[in-house]
Chain A
Amino acid sequence: MSEFAVFLGPVLAAMLTAATPLLFAALGELVVEKSGVLNLGVEGMMLAGAVIGFMVAASTGSSTLGFIAAAVAGLVMGALFGVLTLGLLANQVATGLALTLFGVGLSALVGQGWVGRPIADVPELRIPGLTDLPVIGPALFGQDALVYLGLAMVPAVHWFLFSTRAGLVLRAVGENHAAAHALGYKVARIRFLAVLFGGAMSGIAGAYLSLDYTPMWAENMTAGRGWIALALVVFATWKPGRVLLGAWLFGGVTIAQLHVQGHGFAVPAQLLSMLPYLATILVLVAISRDVARIRLNAPACLGKVFHPDG
Chain B
Amino acid sequence: MSLIRLEPRGHASRAMVYLTPVLAVALTLASGFLLFLALGFDPVKALHAFFIQPVSTARGLGELVVKATPLVLIGVGLAIGFRANVWNIGAEGQLTLGAIVGGGIGLAFYGDGGWWVLPLMVLGGVAGGMAWAAIPAWLKLRFNASEILTSLMLTYVALLLLNYLINGPYRDPEGFAFPESRMFEPYATLPHLIQGTRVHLGSLFALLAVAGGWVLMSRTFIGFQIRVIGLTPAAAGYAGFNEKRIVWLTLLLSGGLAGLAGLGEVAGPIGQITPSVSPGYGFTAIIVAFLGRLHPVGILLAGLLMALSFIGGEAAQIALGLPKAITGVFQGMLLFFLLACDVLIRYRVRFGARRAAA
Contacts and interface: CB of A to CB of B under 8 A. Distances in A.
A101 B328 contact: yes
B161 A270 contact: yes
A277 B331 CA distance: 26
A27 B138 CA distance: 29
Contacts, number: 150
A135 interface: no
Interface in A265-290: 268, 270-271, 273-274, 277-278, 280-281, 284-285, 288-289
A84 interface: yes
Contacts of A273: 160
A65 interface: no
Q: Interface residues of A: mostly helix, strand, loop or mixed?
A: helix
A88 interface: yes
Q: Interface residues of B: mostly helix, strand, loop or mixed?
A: helix
B281 to A, nearest CB: 12
Nearest to B339: A90
Contacts of A88: 6, 339-340, 343
A105 interface: yes
A227 interface: yes
Nearest to A97: B286
Interface in A6-20: none
Contacts of B160: 270-271, 273-274, 277
A93 interface: yes
B183 to A, nearest CB: 23
B328 A223 contact: no
Interface residues of B, number: 49
A95 B339 contact: yes
Contacts of B290: 94
A97 B87 CA distance: 11
Contacts of B154: 277, 281
Residue in A106, A234, A281, A285 whose Cβ sees the most chain B Cβ within 10 Å: A281
Residue in B154, B325, B343 whose Cβ sees the most chain A Cβ within 10 Å: B325
Contacts of B324: 108
A83 B4 CA distance: 13
A37 B353 CA distance: 28
Interface stretch (B49-57, B139-147, B264-272): B139-147
B323 A309 contact: no
Contacts of A102: 328-329, 331-333, 335-336
Nearest to B313: A105
Given A40-B148, A90-B339, A112-B323, 5 more contacts: A101-B286, A105-B326, A223-B156, A270-B167, A280-B149
6 contacts: A40-B148, A230-B149, A270-B164, A281-B150, A294-B144, A307-B8
Which 6 pairs across A and B sit closest by C-beta, in order of nearness?
A105-B328, A102-B332, A108-B325, A270-B164, A90-B339, A98-B335
